[in-house]
Amino acid sequence: MKILILGAPGAGKGTQAKLIAEKYQLAHISTGDIFRSNIQGNTPLGQQAQQYMSQGLLVPDELTIALVKDYLETNHFENGYILDGFPRTIPQAESFDAYLASKQECMDYVIDIEIPDEFILDRMSGRRVCTKCGATYHIVNSPSKKEGICDTCGTALIQREDDQAETVKKRLEVYHAETQPLIDHYKGKAKYLPVDGTGSVEEVFASLNKMLGA
């Protein structure tokens, strides 16, 4: 099964993608996570990506497309995957469509987490992440058991650099201009599953499970 998950920054894509990946035994492929681990490792890709990410801008298409194709070519995914954060522009989607077609493959589902912009600032300002294992928390909605410490691996939690209010506003602008048009692009190409993202994590996951036929 191949799933693409769309939604504004902070809509809950990463949170839901992790739950879906676990339940359906899929690989969770997040371009944001790949870029962040490269930034942490100070690789040439990370140095390039950071210039864009810290300003709330998208990493250039050529770089991102090459990264994802290479990732898919060099890994084998037994049961398929869920793509979180890619494609994010029409050129990325067109290039990815052509890549899948060349392998006689297609996306099965496109999930769209719908959420008004007003919710986003609160979600982003309260988000805390673990740089070691990637776990995500929210200081009010899903706090770690011990404040500031990851439940899973005990590492200190941090706030993402791009979660500052001004950068979040820029990311939202970029989302509406560049990524939202993908909803129309994918309607008709895969089964389109819009979901209300304003409920709790459990409510959103339950709705998605129903739509995915579990």
Residues with a known catalytic role:
13, 88, 127, 160, 171
Provide, rounded to whole angstroms, the least separation between the CB of residue 29 and ligand AP5.
10
How is residue 3 written in tokens?
């799933």
Contact range with ligand AP5 by CB under 6 A, out of 20-28, 93-101, 183-191, 200-208? 200-208
Provide, rounded to whole angstroms, the least separation between the CB of residue 133 and ligand AP5.
14
Provide, rounded to whole angstroms, the least separation between the CB of residue 206 and ligand AP5.
11
Binding test (CB under 6 A) with ligand AP5, winner from 2, 4, 7, 26: 7
Binding test (CB under 6 A) with ligand AP5, winner from 2, 4, 6, 13: 13
Classify burial at 84, counting beta carbons within 10 Å of its beta carbon; exposed 0-12, middle 13-18, buried 19 or more.
buried
Scan residues 150-169 and list those touching ligand AP5 (CB under 6 A): 162
Residue 31 engages ligand AP5 in binding (rule: CB under 6 A): yes
Please work out the total of residues on this chain that contact ligand AP5, with binding judged by CB under 6 A. 35
